Amino acid sequence: MRRPIHARIDLAALRHNHAVARKHAGDVSLWSVIKANAYGHGVLEIAQGLRDVADGFALIEMEMAIQLREQGFNHPMLILEGYYRSNELPLFAEYQLTPVVHSEGQIDALIAARLPVRMPIYLKIDSGMHRLGIASYSLATCLKKLEISQAVGKVTLMTHFADADEPHGIAVQLARFKKITDGLNMPISICNSAALLRFPEALSCGPLAANQNWARPGIMLYGSSPFPAIKTAAELELKPVMTLTSEVIAVRDLRPGDGVGYGGNFVARSAMRIGVVACGYGDGYPRHAPTGTPILIAGKRTRTLGRVSMDKICVDLTDLPSVGAGDTALMWGGDEATGLLSADEVATAAGTISYEMFCALASRVAVEIVD
């Protein structure tokens, strides 16, 4: 017997979102970012859903890229943290994987490996995020090593924006990237979802034609806005790919003064009717979601009450007298027929981001793939 909670992954919605990214990108090619198990959606399923439309796939895990190769995926594949040890480089060559190179040590390892092929690389430049990337003062040395090396093929310049989803945007980092790379006749890859949607001028700021450059859409492919406080997913014409639903498994009547859940931190001020939904933080629902987090019950909007438990959420049914045990609870996602509840709205209420909620989907939750 299965618990009623399950996640539905809509591949048609995924391709719709990819088409939105394509519209914004114009002639720029798209790396479909499927790292972290495709943001919790299932990497093999998402890759299959995008097989006919993706220009290439970007991942963190070399092992998963190899698995995709063995499943017959011939697309370009970008490994976003590159290689960690030099003994991984023969596998990069064998499976035709493109590493992101972000340190001088990685360049030295690649040159020393004496691979049988000239490996294309993405050279990541730190333009202000200060996470990974070649510092501006080291770039000339690194480029000189690459220029004289017989180990390296095509070089694409890459950076990552720290503030593309913030109101003040990317102007400072973009200007810094342009200054650092001035005079370098190489393709670029600098736009994530937020930059792709908000700052189209960044797509082709390099010296080459737009069709030589690549963008890296991630969260938008899964139907969430990268900047929900600025524009919602619906306003961006994005559709939810993951829908998380369960059922009401019990209904309780409360009297004034009754507490709900661990710690009783929600206390009824008057007579209330509540429902218990089979979903909790053990399923991936955010434990820190407070009273008042939105949820749809039988297609009608209501709120959570009290603390989220490992396996259960309590919800307010006081104004929903017709709802009872067995009725559907929608935690996020949905469509026009069932009702829509944006994962971004739930995440905002819970003090987190949709990325984290998607990635937290537990293995015990049954997953249905629809197309």
Give domain status of residue 185, yes or no: yes
pLDDT at 209: 86
Reported as half-sphere exposure (CB side, CA atoms, 13 A), residue 210 has a value of 14
Q: Which domain holds residue 259?
A: 242-370
- Report CA-CA distances (Å) from 323 to 273, 301, 333: 10, 12, 20
Domain count for the chain, please give it.
Answer: 2
274 assigned to some structural domain: yes
Same domain? For 162 and 269 the reply is: no
Q: H/E element holding 79?
A: strand 77-79
Check whether residue 269 and residue 302 sit in a common domain.
yes
**What pLDDT was estimated at residue 337?**
84
Indicate whether 152 belongs to any domain. yes
Asked which of 191, 222, 253 is the last residue of a domain, the reply is 222
Q: Map tokens 């995020």 to a residue.
A: 129
Q: 295 near 330, Cβ under 8 Å?
A: yes
Contact assessment for residue 165 and residue 156, using Cβ atoms and an 8 Å cutoff: no
C-alpha angle with apex 288: 282 to 294, nearest 5 degrees?
Answer: 95
Judge whether 285 counts as a catalytic residue. no
Same domain, yes or no, for 210 and 252?
Answer: no
Active site residue 262: yes
The predicted structure's pLDDT at residue 47: 99
Q: What is the pLDDT of residue 205?
A: 87
In this structure, the answer to whether residues 120 and 26 fall within a common structural domain is: yes
Q: Are residues 203 and 279 in the same domain?
A: no
Same domain, 192 and 76: yes
pTM equals: 0.96
- 190 and 247 assigned to the same domain: no
Do 98 and 246 have their domain in common?
A: no
CA dist 342 and 194 (Å) reads 18
Q: Are residues 75 and 154 in the same domain?
A: yes
Domain assignment present for 233: no
Same domain, 207 and 66: yes
Q: The domain spanning residue 317 has which CATH number? A: 2.40.37.10
Q: Which of 84, 239, 262, 300 is catalytic?
A: 262
Q: What is the reported pLDDT for 333? A: 98
Q: What's the pLDDT at 206?
A: 85
- Is residue 277, in this structure, part of any structural domain at all? yes
pLDDT by 10s per residue, the chain, length 371: 789 999 999 999 999 999 999 999 999 999 999 999 999 999 999 999 999 999 999 999 999 999 999 999 999 999 999 999 999 999 999 999 999 999 999 999 999 999 999 999 999 999 989 999 999 999 999 999 999 888 999 999 999 999 988 988 899 999 999 999 999 999 999 999 999 999 999 998 888 888 999 999 999 999 999 999 999 999 999 999 999 999 999 999 999 999 999 999 999 999 999 999 999 999 999 999 999 999 999 999 999 999 999 999 999 999 999 999 999 999 999 998 889 999 999 999 999 999 999 999 999 999 999 99
For residue 165, the model assigns a pLDDT of: 87
Q: Which of 222, 255, 288 is the last residue of a domain?
A: 222
Q: Is 235 part of any domain?
A: no
On whether both 143 and 58 belong to a single domain, the answer is yes
Active-site residue, selected from the candidate residues 35, 124, 239, 312: 35
Residues 251 and 335 both lie in one domain? yes
Does 180 map to a domain? yes
Residue 231 lies in a domain: no
CATH number (domain holding residue 23): 3.20.20.10
